[in-house]
Every structure is written in C-alpha cells, then in structure tokens.
Chain A
Amino acid sequence: MKKITVSGLKYRYPLTEELALKGLSFEIEKGEFIGIIGQNLSGKSTLCQALMGLVPHFYKGGYGGSVWVDGLEVGKAEIHEIAQKVGLVFQNPFTQVSGSKMTVFEELAFGLENLGVAREDMAPRIEHAMELLGIGRFRDRNPFDLSGGQMQRMAIASVIAMEPEIIVLDEPTSQLDPQGAEDVFQAIEALSRRGMTVIMAEHKIEKIARYSDRVLLLHQGEMVAFDTPQQVFSRDDLERYGVVPPVFAQVCKGMGIRNPATGLYPMTLDEACDQVVNWHE
C-alpha cells in the first residue's frame, strides 16, 4: 500500500530566486524506513517539512506538484489535519519543548489537548508513547530538566502520542552526544519494527546504511537516487554529491570486495565480515 505519493513537487521559499525542491516524484510504502541524505542545503529539511505541510502552509512561497499522505493532499489540507497522520521531529530537542507544561506527562498531553482528544483517552495514549520511547521514569520531571537525548525522546513521544502513521525525523540526533544519539536510534528502530513508516534525514551515513530500507539522495533540490542503501552507496559518483559512503563500503571498494550475488559493495560490518570470510576461502 502506498503511504506517501509525491509527484512533481516543486517549492521556492519566499524572497528567494532558486527552487529549494525541483520537481521530486517518488512513492513510499507503508512500514518502510527511508533515509534522506545529501550535502548541506541540498533540501533535506525542506522535503521533510513538505511531507508535514509546513511547506507551504507555514512558510508560504511558491509551490507546485502534489504530496499525498494516507489519502490526504498536503497542499490543500491544514497542518493540524496532517498532524494526525504525520509527526515531525526536528534537530534541536530544546525548541520542541512546548514550554507551557511543568511535567513530561503533561508535555505529552499538549498535542492531544490541541486536537481535542477526550480526557479518558489521553492517559493510555501517553503511557503507551512513554513506554515505547523509554521515558516513563521521567514522567514527573520538568521537561527542561532532561538531558538532550531524553528530551529528544520526549519530543518523539509527544508526536507518537498523537498516533500518526508516519514519522518524519530531520537530523534527530545531530545535537546529541553519542550515547543520546544511540538511544534515539534504538527508539526509532523499535518504532519501525512495529510497522510505523519512518522517514529520516540524516548525515550519519553508517546509521542510514544500517537501518534504511531505501535511501533517497538529494542534490541541490533534485532527487539523484532512490534505492536500497547497497545500490546508492555503490555508486561511483557519490563524491560529486558531497556524500561519503559508509566506511565499510569504502574499505571493501578499496579492496575490491563485492557481494558476488549483486555486484555491490557491503554496507555494514556484518555484511563486510561475511564477504571477507568468503573472499579468503
């Protein structure tokens, strides 16, 4: 089942000349884990926000083409309608705290209150979200007293409590320390395993190679590739797009180790290990 259908999506920010998105078309299936990569200013954040409707509704500007999520046309719907289907998590955990709530539990209720969810339904949804993200023990803490990683997991949980079917994450770990980042990745992986459609823009190529089903490579607002990590990271022209392939792919490329079945370079440690063992035999 197609969860997201983007066709001919073009977008230009107000007061700018150049298009930030130059006619993107692709489809995403339910339950897929999609990685969005590309060098700085290639349009990753803009694409993420277009899936949620912040582009164009929040920024205005020039918009063309269409984005359908779960039967809703983003360009014509309102952000709060889309918010029930798509959740968006930003880089900075700090600015995602609403700032009007005194405890983590209440913070998670913020979106539900806005949607007008009945009081009886709130607690189970919040409990469930807290459990998925492993933040139950912070329920009575002040949101601002959490560490970066905890705060980011709270931001994800706040979105999950709204029960979207798709979650879009824009570099969710770029401001976290390694441990905080790892916690967040594990939490997202768990969501993905539960069948949630995950779309993540990320510079950490190793993680993308490991977790994504497919990788979307953007360059100056255009889609260069949309394929499995093996296919995308085995391309010879990655350097031109400012993308450094995962370290295992680089090493295997240097040594000429390919997966004989596909002719592609291994992407992860496990895959590389298998190939090296085979190669020696």
Chain B
Amino acid sequence: MKALSLYQDRGTVVHRVDSRSKLLYILSAILIPAVLPGFMPGLAMLALSILILATGKVFGKVLPLVGFSLLILASIVLIQGLFYSGNKQLLFSLWRFGFYREGLLFSGGICLRVMNILCAVSILVLTTRPSDLIESLVRLGLSPHLGYVLSSVLQIIPQMTATMETITDAQRSRGMETEGTLLVRMKAFLPLIGPVVMNSLVSTRERSLALEVRAFSARSKKTFLNPPQGGTANTVIPLVLLLAMAAAIVWRVMQ
C-alpha cells in the first residue's frame, strides 16, 4: 500500500536505534555546530550523519532531498555573495558581478547548517517506522489522541486518494468527461467531489464509532504492545549525545 511516509524498511542497526535517540541526535546536529565556532564542527557532524545514513542503507534516498534544497541554497549563496551587507574583500568576479569573501562565508555557514538539519532529520524519517516514532512521542508525554491523529493521517490520506480514484473511474465509466479543457474538468469536478465529501464524512463518523467500540476514550492509563526499546545502545546513545551537547555549551561559556 502507498503510505504517506518516507520510511525505508532496510532492517539495519540504524533502524534498531530507538526514535528518542534519533530525536536527540537532531537536536545535537543543530546545537553543536551552532555553539562551536568555525566550519569544522558542522563538517564533522555532516560527515557523521552521512556515515549513519550510509550504514542505514538510505543514503540514496537523501540525494533527491539534497538536490532539491541545493537549488534553494544556490540562490542564497548567489545573493549573499553579491549583496551581503558586510561584504568587503572581493574574492573574484564573474562578468560584471563581484563575489565577496564575507558573503560567501556567511552563506556557506547557512548551507552547512541546512544540510546538517536535513541529514539528521532524514536519519529519523527514513529509518524509523512512523508508528514507532509516534508511539515513543506518546510515551514521552504526547497526548494519545494527538498521537492517533498523526499516525492515522499518514495512512488514511492515501486511502482517501484511492477512494477518489475509484469514484473518478466510476464516473468516467459512466461517460463523464474528466479530462480536457479547464472548463470541462471544472464541470466534472463538482459531481465528483460530492460523493467523495459525503463518503469521507460518513466514514469519519463510522470510524469514530468504531474507535469508541475499541475503548479509545477510556481514561485509564494506556499500555503499549511493543516494549520500550531498551538495550545498552539506547541508553548509551542519548547519554553520549547529551554529554556532547553539554560539553559544547560549557566550552563555549568558558571561552
């Protein structure tokens, strides 16, 4: 089934690390390069993220995301390199435009930060089952109702798209024009959206009835089928990350 999720089921070590550690990793990937000066910490963090992504066998999935963001980042480099307010030292010029050192360094920093966040978030999103992620958020105190909404949306939206397609096919087989000029399509859209809206309203009520039957609104403490991901790795990793962040902050304050 098409699910609204980027999760890749590759079953590597990275997949077995719990989502709490991965969430902390995102925090570290943002915080540590921001606290420490220079490009080195950011580059090191990025190298680490890439290493983790490769271990999780999902590096290939990050490339399209990186490619897309490069497009935006390139424009930032261009603009800052040309017009950054602190620009002083001319580095090189292309045709009539001069690129300045300060602007390029500044935009380089932004690019590095964005790439870091992108890769760290990708580790979480690509190697964690959405339902596990949400479950661990619920364990950390997210309301179970909100948790349900988040995880069901991921599955139910593709289902609604499928309903839409079924209805479109049904209408088309009855001779309705669904392709062609804008006007034709507009005309086709109205009778099409009626059943879809009705359908989803009715099924929303039915689903909430069915949830009640499954004791969804019980106020007692919920339990979880899956045990919390324990193991030494899942206690060591958060600990190391927290220490690293603390060390970075302490070092910065001491300077």
Contact = CB atoms under 8 A, between A and B. Distances in A.
A122 B223 CA distance: 10
Interface string A59-103: 000000000000000000001100110011010101110111110
Contacts of A102: 129-131
Given A112-B223, A118-B223, A95 B215 contact: no
A155 to B, nearest CB: 8
A113 B148 CA distance: 12
A158 B148 contact: no
Contacts of A90: 206, 209-210
Contact of A113 (B155, B159, B219, B224): B224
Contacts, number: 112
In terms of DSSP, what is the predominant structure of the interface of chain A?
A: helix
Contact of A83 (B129, B159, B213, B227): B213
Nearest to B206: A95
Interface in B199-216: 203, 206-216
B167 to A, nearest CB: 14
B85 interface: no
B213 A159 contact: yes
B218 A100 contact: no
A247 interface: no
Contacts of A100: 131, 134, 147-148, 151-152, 155
A114 interface: yes
Contacts of B147: 100
Interface string A232-260: 00000000000000000000000000000
B225 A109 contact: yes
Contacts of A118: 223
Interface string B145-158: 00110011001100
Band of interface residues on A: 35 or more
Given A115-B220, A119-B225, A99 B155 contact: yes
B218 A98 contact: no
Interface string A140-167: 0010110000000001001100100000
A80 B215 contact: yes
A116 interface: yes
A52 B212 CA distance: 10
Interface in B216-255: 216-227
B213 A99 contact: no
A99 B224 contact: no
A31 interface: no
A106 B224 CA distance: 10
A54 interface: yes
A106 B225 contact: yes
Contact of A119 (B129, B221, B227): B227
B236 to A, nearest CB: 24
Interface in B114-160: 129-131, 134, 147-148, 151-152, 155-156, 159
B156 A99 contact: yes
Interface in B1-47: 1, 3
Given A95-B207, A101-B131, A113 B222 contact: yes
A84 B207 CA distance: 19
B151 to A, nearest CB: 4
Contacts of B155: 99-100, 144
A244 to B, nearest CB: 27
Contacts of B203: 92, 94-95
A56 B218 CA distance: 17
A13 interface: no
Nearest to A101: B131
A267 B225 CA distance: 46
Interface of A: 49, 52, 54, 58, 79-80, 83-84, 87-88, 90, 92, 94-96, 98-102, 105-106, 109-119, 122, 142, 144-145, 155, 158-159, 162
7 contacts: A54-B209, A79-B212, A80-B216, A95-B210, A159-B214, A162-B214, A162-B215
Given A95-B203, A98-B152, A112-B225, 6 more contacts: A54-B209, A80-B216, A105-B225, A109-B225, A110-B214, A119-B227
